[in-house]
Amino acid sequence: MVRKILSGIDRIDLMDQAFKGKRLAVVTGGGAVDRNLSSTLDVLTSRYQVVRLFNTIYGVRGDFRYGEEIPYYVDEKTGLDVHSIFNIERTAPTAEMMQDVDMLVFDIRGAGTRFFEYLHCLASIMKACARYKKPVTVLDRIAPLGGTIVEGTVCPPDMHTIVGDYELPSRFALTMGEFAQYINGEFDIGCDLTVIPVEGWTRELYYDETDVPWLLPSPSLNSVTANLLYAGFCIFEGVSTISEGRGTSKPFEMIGAPWLNTPALLDGMKARSLEGVRFAPVYFRPQASKHNGEVCSGVQILVDDRERFRPFLTALTMLEIIRDLHPNEIKYRDCSAGHLVKEEVSSPVFTRYIDKLLATDAFSTGHMSAQQLVDAYAPERERFVQRKKKYHLYE
User: What is the per-residue pLDDT across 263-319, written as a single tens digit (0 to 9) for each?
Assistant: 999 999 999 999 999 999 999 999 999 999 999 999 999 999 999 999 999 999 999
Strand 23-28 to 49-55 pairing: parallel
Q: What is the pLDDT at residue 259?
A: 98
Domain 8-213 of CATH type 3.40.50.12170: yes
Question: Could you tell me the pLDDT band of residue 66, with boundaries at 50, 70 and 90?
Answer: low
Q: What was the pLDDT predicted at 5?
A: 98
Report whether 11 contacts 196 (CB < 8 A): yes
Give the gyration radius of the chain's Cα atoms. Answer: 21
Task: Answer whether residue 235 shows pLDDT above 70.
Answer: yes
Mean of per-residue pLDDT scores for the chain: 95
Neighbour tally for 254: CB within 10 Å: 24
Q: How confident is the model at residue 89 (pLDDT cuts 50, 70, 90)?
A: confident
pLDDT at 328 over 90: yes
pLDDT single digits (tens) 143-194 = 999 999 999 999 999 999 999 999 999 999 999 999 999 999 999 999 999 9
Taking 70 as the threshold, does the pLDDT of residue 67 lie above it? Answer: no
pLDDT of residue 249: 96
Read off the pLDDT of residues 241-255 as tens digits, 9 standing for 90 and up: 999 999 999 999 999
Closest listed residue to residue 168, CA positions, set 181, 184, 182 = 182
Of 125, 223, 233, 234, the residue nearest 180 (C-alpha): 125
Predicted local confidence at residue 304, as pLDDT: 97
CA–CA dist 22, 50 (Å, integer): 8
CATH 1.10.3470.10 fits 224-336+364-371, yes or no: no
The pLDDT score that the predictor gives to residue 65 is: 66
Please state the pTM of the whole predicted model: 0.96
What are the pLDDT digits (tens) for 113-128? Answer: 999 999 999 999 999 9
The terminus-to-terminus CA distance of the chain in angstroms comes to 19
Tell which wins on pLDDT, 203 or 71. 203
| 50 DSSP 8-state letter | E
> Where in the chain are the domains?
8-213, 224-336+364-371
Helix or strand holding residue 40 (H, E)? helix 40-47
Percent of the chain residues topping a pLDDT of 90: 88
CA 364 from centre of chain: 22
> For residue 337, what pLDDT is reported?
77
CA distance 61 to 40: 9
Residue 95 scores a pLDDT above 70:
yes
pLDDT of 302: 98
- Average pLDDT rounded to a whole number, residues 371-389: 98
CB 154 within 8 A of CB 385: no
